[in-house]
Amino acid sequence: MKYQFPDNFWWGSASSAPQTEGETLSFGKSATIWDQWFKEQPTRFHNGVGPADTSTFYQHWKQDIALLKELNHNTFRTSISWARLIPQGRGAVNQEAVAFYNQVIDELLAQGIKPFINLFHFDMPMVMQQQGGWENRDVVTAYAEFASVCFELFGDRVKHWFTFNEPVVPVEGGYLYDFHYPNVVDFRRAATVAYHTMIAHSLAVKAYHQRNDGGEIGIILNLTPSYPRSQNPADVKAANIADLMFNRSFLDPALRGEYPQELVALLKEHGQLPVCQDGDKALLAAGVVDLLGINYYQPRRIKCRDSLVNPDSPFMPEWFFEAYDMPGRQMNPYRGWEIYAQGIYDILTNLRENYDNPNCYISENGMGVENEQRFEENGQIQDDYRIDFVRDHLKWLHKGISEGSNCLGYHMWTFIDNWSWCNAYKNRYGFVSLNLETQQRTIKKSGEWYRATAAENGFNDRT
């Protein structure tokens, strides 16, 4: 069977400034929370590899963009570092950063690759975090100023903007589960961070729409379908609460301009609502996106709790549900994530049936594998497992499109092996292999497959 995708389908990949650029404290850039955390606790990072040791895009941007072209990308997403462009968080713009981002954008366009630019990828400038980060409304205002500077500097050429990548992750990691800086465990503060993030998003969307630059602006959400263990009402209720907290807490304001009343009532009941200001309701309504980016890696399996909550424990989402390890599930053992390709179809179906079928695209999907060098033959990584992973997800994506979903493209995470937060280079995700010692780039077998798929705008099923 031939899986043919619509004309002008976006074939590409995604990356971010903090994970690829390097030169993390050079060329005028100030420290981010990652630089500070690595300075304080280097043992929290795999093999002691910190944010300075990325895939050196700042130095090799032209070579890397040539590789994107070789892989037949017509689109590519990366981010602008707030700490590089405006090192003090507000005020003076770093002209070295302006020159760098201009040359990247111009080279992408010269190669026929549309730049998709994200404004925040977990990389809060430390000077802003010292003021409270997303807990402080002044930082929200500073972010909106940063976004407007980006629109002014680059909006003549960049026509696809995104306010945030996976905004739930700094909430989970930094304020609930202790896997991101500032390592707080406090649901009320987490709710404030989540709420202020969407206020910041709405300010940026409103500012962009007022410019009339002829482009579009959106947000990138990591959507994890919440599947109940069974149709028992207790399991269904538990899965619904997980969906409210981890998906709809960002999806509803981004697509509907308001929060689910069910979520508001739940948080109010437990005294966890953030403080709102006059005008916030209208501002959130103005933050409805033009385009939704969907990051999909794994589903969430949920069951009702089997035990009572310790009343003295911190209030957490898990007061209402537990994770369920479904027997027989397919796993990526290196990342510890379930592989469930149908989830991508279920997300699109939900958007079509319950959210007026917005324009969207798959902004990340990928498979991280540890110690990939063991699969090297004649100088190339033979990553057939990654080809199988992509092919299976594209089949379900194709089914969603064939049923009417407005999905406009597919981006893999990522085009080249890059630094991944506390995991560093433990798991490799790229279509291109990176030798950390020599910085040599080598296209993997999956890169060749993706290049052919993009050229053909589809693929033949091998079965």
Residue numbers annotated as active site? 364
Distance of CA 272 to the CA centre of its chain: 26
For the chain, helix, strand, coil in percent to 5 are: 45, 20, 40
Q: Tell which residue, 397, 372, 387, 186, has the closest CA to residue 296.
A: 397
Using only the alpha carbons of the chain, give its radius of gyration: 21
Looking up tokens 């500032």 gives 182
Nearest to 447 by CA among 432, 462, 434, 461: 432
What is d(CA 308, CA 110) in angstroms, rounded to the nearest whole number?
60
Determine the Cα–Cα distance for residues 346 and 363; give it in Å rounded to an integer: 16
Query: What is the dihedral sign for C-alpha 129, 131, 135, 137?
Result: negative
**Residue of 130, 197, 128 whose CA lies nearest to 165:** 197
**Collapsing DSSP states into helix, strand and coil, what is residue 217?**
strand
Beta-carbon contacts of 125 under 8 Å, excluding residues fewer than 6 positions away, are 30, 31, 32, 82, 83, 86, 87, 88, 89
- Angle (CA) 193-196-201 rounded to 5° is 125
Look at phi and psi of residue 441 and say left if phi exceeds 0, alpha if psi is from -120 to 50, else beta: beta
Say if residues 180 and 240 touch (Cβ distance below 8 Å).
Answer: no
What are the backbone angles phi and psi of residue 434, rounded to the nearest 5°? Answer: -115, 125
